[in-house]
C-alpha cells in the first residue's frame, strides 16, 4: 500500500495571469505536502511567467512550449515531465480546497482497485469570487452519464499514473475530456466519487466563443467517437440522438447569447429533430434548459436573454412560446433562492420582489430544484446549516404562496432527504426525516414509496 505517494498537479497556462497567483497559492496551501506542481506555458502572450516566478517553492516547476499546441497537449507535456504516482489536473483559473489532495490520496490508498477519483465543486458567480452553487456529480458515475452531458471538469479529477498515461492527449480537441474519461471507463478503469466539493470553478462574464459552429462540431465528434467505439455497449449507443440533442440545446443557447441568431435556430432545429420530447411538458425540457443557462450569469438579465430567444425561435420550437412568462418569473424565483442560500440578502430581496410581481409558481419543478440544492449544501456544511437556509427561504416565500404550499415545499425537502440518506445507507437518519415530511404533508403517510423506504431502513435492508 502507498505510504506517501507523490502527486503531480498539472496546469496548462495561456492568458491566465489574472488568476494564476490564486491558483498557485491554493496548491501550495494543500494540507498534503508530497506533490509537485507543473505549470505548462502554452506560449502565453501575457505575463503568466512573471506571476509564477513570484513563488519561491521547490515543488513548483515551470515549462514553456515553443509553439501554441492547446490545453491537452500542454497537459501531455506536464504528464511526460511528471514523476507522481497520482496525477491531478487543474485549470489555470480554478483553485483548490486546502484538503483536496489529502482526501483523494486517502481514498486511493484505501481503495486500491479504484483508478480514477472525482469530486464535487463550488461554482463561482461569473467574474466573481462568491459562490453561485455547488455541483455534485453522480455518486456512481456511468458511461451514459459521461456521454449524455459533462458531469466532470478537469479540475475535479485525480487518477493513478498508469491510467493517466492511457489518455490520448496528443490529439486533444475542444471538449475532449468527455472522450478521454469515457475511453478510460470503457477500458475498465474504476471510477469513484470522494463525496465532497473540493475545488472552485471560475466562470467569466461576457466571454465570447469564436467559431461556435466549429466548437459544437468538435464536441459532437467526440461523442460520435465514443458511440463508435466497439467497447461501447448497445444500451449506451442507443442514447446517441439524446446525447446529440443535449449538445445542440447547449450550443443553441450559446449562439443566441452571442446574437448569432441564425446559428442558434439551426442548433435548436437539430435538437428538436433528434429529440422531439424536449418540447413536451410544462415546463418542457427545452424551456428548462434555456432557463438554466439564462440564469447562470448574475451579471446578465435572464429576462432579456429569454425574451430575445423566444422572440426568434425556429418554427419547429414555436410551441414553447407560451411558456415564456413562466420562465421569466421562475428565473427571478430561482435566482432569489440561490441568493438566500449563498448569503446575498440584497440580491434575494430584489429577485423575490420581481418573482412576486410576475406571479412565480412554487410548482413541482421548483420544489425539486430547491430540495436538491439544499441537500447539496447539506453535504458540505451539515444538516443544521441546510435547515437554517430552508427556514430563511420559507420566510421569503410568504409573498408568493400560502402556508400550506410552503409546508409542501418543506415536506418535499424532508422526503428527498430521507431517500438520499437511505441510498447512502444512513438508515438511522431515515425515520426522523420521514416524520418531518409527514408532519408538513400528511399525505406522505399513504405514499407507498415513502412507507417502503421507512420499513426497509428500519430493517437495515440495502437499496435494491
Mean pLDDT (10-residue bins), the chain, 464 residues: 82 95 98 97 94 95 94 96 97 97 98 98 95 94 93 96 95 84 98 97 92 93 96 98 96 97 98 97 94 96 98 97 97 98 96 96 92 95 96 93 94 95 93 95 94 93 81
- Give the per-residue pLDDT at 2: 57
DSSP code of residue 45 = S
* Per-residue pLDDT, 463: 81
Buried/exposed code over 325-364 (b: 16+ C-beta within 10 A; e: otherwise)? ebbbbbbbbbbbbbbbbbebeebbeebbebbbebebbbee
Q: Phi/psi of residue 395, each to 5°?
A: -65, -30
Q: CA-to-CA distance for 30 and 96, rounded, in angstroms?
A: 8
Which run of H or of E encompasses 452? Answer: helix 448-459
Residues 6+ apart with CB under 8 A from 186: 143, 226, 229, 231, 232
Segments in 44-176 forming alpha helices (H) = 48-53, 71-81, 100-110, 143-148, 161-164
> Could you tell me the three cell numbers for 292?
438554466
Q: Rounded to whole angstroms, what are the CA distances from 384 to 337, 426, 432, 439?
A: 18, 17, 14, 18
Q: Are 416 and 429 in contact (CB under 8 A)?
A: no
HSE-up of residue 373 (Cα within 13 Å, Cβ side): 23
Alpha helix segments (H runs only) across 54-173: 71-81, 100-110, 143-148, 161-164
Cα gap 435→115, rounded to integer Å: 40
431 vs 24, 188, 379, CA distance in Å?
46, 38, 19
**How far apart are the C-alpha atoms of 121 and 10, rounded to whole Å?**
18
**Beta-carbon-side half-sphere exposure of residue 286 (alpha carbons within 13 Å):** 34
Q: Residues for the chain: how many in total? A: 464
Domain 7-201 sits in which CATH superfamily?
A: Spore Coat Polysaccharide Biosynthesis Protein SpsA; Chain A (3.90.550.10)
239-253 pLDDT tens trace = 999 999 999 999 999
Q: How far is CA 404 from CA 166, 353, 396, 416, in A?
A: 56, 21, 15, 18
Least Cα distance to 150 among 171, 177, 125 occurs for: 177
State how far the Cα of 142 lies from the Cα of 283, in Å rounded to an integer. 27
Q: Say which DSSP state 3 is in.
A: S
Amino acid at each position: 500500500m502507498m505510504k506517501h505517494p507523490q502527486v503531480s498537479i498539472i496546469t496548462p497556462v495561456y492568458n491566465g495571469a489574472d488568476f494564476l497567483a490564486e491558483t498557485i497559492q491554493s496548491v501550495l496551501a494543500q494540507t498534503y505536502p508530497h506533490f509537485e506542481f507543473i505549470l505548462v506555458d502554452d506560449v502565453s502572450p501575457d505575463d503568466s511567467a512573471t506571476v509564477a516566478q513570484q513563488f519561491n517553492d521547490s515543488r513548483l516547476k515551470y515549462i514553456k512550449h515553443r509553439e501554441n499546441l492547446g490545453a491537452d497537449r500542454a497537459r501531455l507535456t506536464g504528464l511526460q515531465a511528471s514523476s507522481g504516482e497520482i496525477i491531478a489536473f487543474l485549470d489555470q483559473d480554478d483553485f483548490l480546497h486546502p484538503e483536496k489532495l489529502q482526501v483523494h490520496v486517502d481514498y486511493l490508498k484505501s481503495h486500491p482497485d479504484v483508478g480514477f477519483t472525482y469530486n464535487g465543486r463550488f461554482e463561482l458567480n461569473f467574474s466573481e469570487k462568491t459562490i453561485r452553487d455547488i455541483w455534485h456529480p453522480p455518486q456512481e458515475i456511468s458511461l451514459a452519464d459521461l456521454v449524455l452531458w459533462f458531469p466532470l471538469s478537469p479540475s475535479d479529477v485525480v487518477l493513478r499514473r498508469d491510467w493517466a498515461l492511457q489518455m490520448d492527449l496528443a490529439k486533444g480537441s475542444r471538449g475532449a475530456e468527455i472522450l478521454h474519461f469515457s475511453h478510460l471507463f470503457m477500458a475498465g478503469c474504476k471510477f469513484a466519487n470522494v463525496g465532497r466539493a473540493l475545488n472552485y470553478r471560475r466562470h467569466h462574464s461576457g466571454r465570447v466563443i469564436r467559431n461556435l459552429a466549429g466548437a459544437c462540431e468538435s464536441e459532437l465528434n467526440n461523442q460520435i467517437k465514443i458511440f463508435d467505439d466497439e467497447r461501447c455497449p448497445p444500451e449506451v449507443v442507443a442514447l446517441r440522438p439524446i446525447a446529440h440533442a443535449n449538445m445542440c440545446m447547449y450550443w443553441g443557447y450559446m449562439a443566441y447569447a452571442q446574437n448569432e441568431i441564425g446559428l442558434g435556430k439551426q442548433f435548436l432545429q437539430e435538437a428538436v429533430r433528434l429529440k422531439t420530447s424536449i418540447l413536451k411538458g410544462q415546463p418542457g425540457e427545452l424551456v428548462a434548459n434555456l432557463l438554466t443557462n439564462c440564469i447562470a450569469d448574475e451579471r446578465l438579465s435572464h429576462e432579456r436573454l429569454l425574451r430575445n430567444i423566444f422572440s426568434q425561435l425556429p418554427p419547429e420550437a414555436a410551441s414553447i412560446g407560451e411558456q415564456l412568462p413562466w420562465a421569466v418569473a421562475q428565473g427571478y424565483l430561482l435566482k432569489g433562492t440561490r441568493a438566500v442560500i449563498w448569503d446575498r440578502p440584497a440580491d434575494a430581496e430584489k429577485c423575490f420582489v420581481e418573482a412576486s410581481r410576475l406571479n412565480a409558481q412554487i410548482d413541482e419543478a421548483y420544489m425539486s430544484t430547491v430540495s436538491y440544492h439544499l441537500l447539496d449544501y447539506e453535504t458540505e456544511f451539515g444538516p443544521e446549516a441546510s435547515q437554517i437556509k430552508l427556514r430563511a427561504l420559507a420566510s421569503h416565500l410568504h409573498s408568493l404562496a400560502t402556508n400550506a404550499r410552503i409546508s409542501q415545499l418543506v415536506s418535499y425537502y424532508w422526503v428527498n432527504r430521507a431517500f438520499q440518506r437511505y441510498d447512502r445507507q444512513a438508515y438511522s437518519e431515515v425515520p426522523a426525516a420521514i416524520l418531518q415530511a409527514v408532519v408538513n404533508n400528511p399525505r406522505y403517510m399513504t405514499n407507498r414509496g415513502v412507507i417502503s423506504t421507512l420499513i426497509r431502513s428500519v430493517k437495515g435492508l440495502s437499496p435494491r
